[in-house]
Structure formats: C-alpha cells, structure tokens
Amino acid sequence: MLYNWFEHITFAYPEVFGLFVLIPAMLYWYLNKYDRKQGALKVSSLAVIRKSSSWKSTFRHAPFVIRLLAVCCIIMAMARPQTRNDEELKNGQGIDIILCLDVSGSMLAQDFLPDRLEASKNMAASFVDMRPTDRIGVVIFSGESFTLVPLTTDKTVLKSQIFNINRGLLEDGTAIGDGLGVSVDRLKSVKTKSKVIILLTDGEDQGGRIDPLAGKELAKAYGIRVYTIGVGSEGYAPVPTSDGTRQQKVNIDEKLLRMIANETGGLYFRARDNESLKNIYLEIDKLEKSRIEVTSLKRYTERFFPFAFAAAALLFLEIFLRYTLFKKFP
C-alpha cells in the first residue's frame, strides 16, 4: 500500500534530498560524543554490572534514533511531496461523418484477410478511434439501406455496432444510390459546416429506390463531400459457397464512384488489399482535420502535512524522553 502511495507522488524540490547526508554525519558525531563520555572502571566480576543493568540502559539510544527519524521527516516535508491530476479540455469544431458500408454477399470475397467485410469493419473501427471530437454515424446497404447508428460521439457504441455487422442483415444486392441517399438524409439538417460521407463498396449499382446520380446531386445540394472507396483486387476473387469456394470476377464501377467523389469535392480511392485500405483511411483522416483546442490543466495536492506532523511529534517525543525517563544527572 505504501509503494502504491509513493508511485503517484512527485516532489516539488527533489534537490532537498541532498540533506540526507546529514544523517550519517549526525550518526558519526553521536558515536564520537558517546565514546568520549564513557568512563572506565576496573571490577573483578561482571556479575554486579549485569544485575544493575536495566531497560534504561538497553534503550539509552532511543532519543537519538527518534531525532534521526524526525530529521528524515523534516527533509521529506521540505521536498514537498505532491500528487498531480492532469486534465485535458478539448474544444473545437468537429466534423459530421457518415460511414456508408456495403454489406452485400460479394463482401465475403477472400481477396482481403479474412474477407472484404471483416477488413472493412476493422478499418472503419480504427478510423473511429482517429476522430476523437467528431460525430460519426453508420449506414449499411446492400439491396436496401439502413441507418445502423445515427450521428454520435459515443465511440464505444459505434465500434460495437460496426463489429456486429454481418452478412444477411439486409436483402442482398448493391443499391449504391440508396446507401448514398440515406447517408445524405442523415447529414442534410445538421448545422456543422463540414459534412462528409465515406462510401465503401465492392461492386456495381444494381438498382434501388434512389439513382446514384440523384444521390450525388443531393450531396452537392447540401454541401456534403463524398469520399468513395472501391474494395477488391484485380481479376477474380474467391467467394465462399455452401460447397466450398468459387472464383468471382471483381466488378467495381470506378467511373461512377470517381464521378460521385469528384463532383462533391471528395476523392476516389481503390483498395486492393488490407494495407491499401488502411492507408486510404489514414489519408482521409489527414484530409479531414477537425479544429481542436486542447487546454491542459494540472492540479497539485500537497502531501507534506503527514511528514511535518510526524516530525513535530517525534521531536516532542524525543524532548519528553530526554528530560523525563532518560534524564541524565551531573
């Protein structure tokens, strides 16, 4: 327990610990003084001396030991032990971000490790950790679209919901326009100046209630930047089936994704493996910087009082013992 207490202690004047050299000096002085005061007496037997010895002679050095302890406590108090509490206040204007993730069946392709969907979830969760002051929401889409998490600053809830995304939550398909439209709907009424959608998909639009070009125009109208990410390697990728795996051609409508990004002020990225997907999120994080002011507060609590009190008590005890129980007569 004492170790844990000192683990959190800092000292305002650690140079005062140099005064501990006084302890051996005092000890040397005391021993020399004690030896000079000893008298010599020749006796024929030690039996008389043994019978006359008492507890006073046994504890005759106690006052000096108490004085040494008092000096140690005084030095500790003079070093001003303190505990410090650090607090950071973060103020600034964050960004509202919607992560729009494709959860269609093709996202189970294993050209990423362990597959496209799991890799995308892991990178999305890492991106959430990069944005401490932003509000982030999650929209998922396949054949239809759904708001999984509205805009929130609760990173724990966000990451929990992202990791719980599984294939089969929605009707299969790739309705890019629906995903984009629902994402725009989540951002259109917010007052934040910076509004961003990160749309990730591995396929081509297969139709839905909203045309992707109409979704793009909506994003432009509400001043929302859209970053698009095409996920998939070149050529063919293994996709698990009930009786093993089959090779499926990688079809990404890069022209559409690039158009959506360029016309809304965003950028298009192509992720061909886990590492490139990670780098894409890092790049987006650099491009979309929040204005944050961090105020660092340090509060100190003085802890020298116990040492000062102990020193006073020990000095009082030494004086009491020296002039009562251990009083010496000329």
Q: Based on the domain organization, do 187 and 127 belong to the same domain? A: yes
Q: Based on the domain organization, do 267 and 162 belong to the same domain? A: yes
Concatenated DSSP letters of 2-42: HHHHHHTEEES-GGGGGGGGHHHHHHHHHHHHHHHH-----
User: What is residue 313's predicted lDDT score, i.e. its pLDDT?
Assistant: 92
Number of domains in the chain: 2
Indicate whether 152 pLDDT > 80.
yes
Cβ atoms of residues 175 and 138 within 8 Å: no
Min mean pLDDT across 53-57, 124-128, 142-146, 273-277 is at 53-57
CA-CA distances (angstroms) from residue 116 to 187, 232, 255?
Answer: 27, 8, 21
**Average pLDDT of the chain?**
86
Indicate whether 112 pLDDT > 80.
yes
Question: Does residue 121 sit within a domain?
Answer: yes
Q: Based on the domain organization, do 125 and 80 belong to the same domain? A: no
Provide, rounded to the nearest whole percent, the portion of the chain with pLDDT above 70: 84
Question: Does residue 244 sit within a domain?
Answer: yes
Q: What is the CATH number of the domain that holds 103?
A: 3.40.50.410
Q: Based on the domain organization, do 280 and 209 belong to the same domain? A: yes
Q: Based on the domain organization, do 150 and 241 belong to the same domain? A: yes
Q: Based on the domain organization, do 146 and 253 belong to the same domain? A: yes
Question: Does residue 28 sit within a domain?
Answer: yes
Q: Based on the domain organization, do 225 and 252 belong to the same domain? A: yes
**Where in the sequence is the domain holding 120, given as residue range(s)?**
96-291
Q: Specify the DSSP element, H or E, that contains 291.
A: strand 291-302
Q: Based on the domain organization, do 100 and 80 belong to the same domain? A: no
Mean pLDDT of 81-93: 69
Q: Based on the domain organization, do 277 and 305 belong to the same domain? A: no
Q: Based on the domain organization, do 70 and 204 belong to the same domain? A: no
Mean pLDDT of 90-112: 88
Indicate whether 192 pLDDT > 80.
yes
Q: Based on the domain organization, do 156 and 78 belong to the same domain? A: no
- Whether pTM > 0.85 for this model: the answer is no
Question: Does residue 40 sit within a domain?
Answer: no
Indicate whether 125 pLDDT > 60.
yes
User: What is residue 52's predicted lDDT score, i.e. its pLDDT?
Assistant: 47
Indicate whether 34 pLDDT > 70.
no
Question: Does residue 48 sit within a domain?
Answer: no
Q: Based on the domain organization, do 311 and 240 belong to the same domain? A: no
Min mean pLDDT across 83-87, 115-119, 175-179, 204-208 is at 83-87
Report d(CA 74, CA 76) in Å as an integer. 5
In this structure, is the dihedral angle defined by the CA atoms of residues 169, 174, 175 and 180, taken in order, positive or negative? Answer: positive
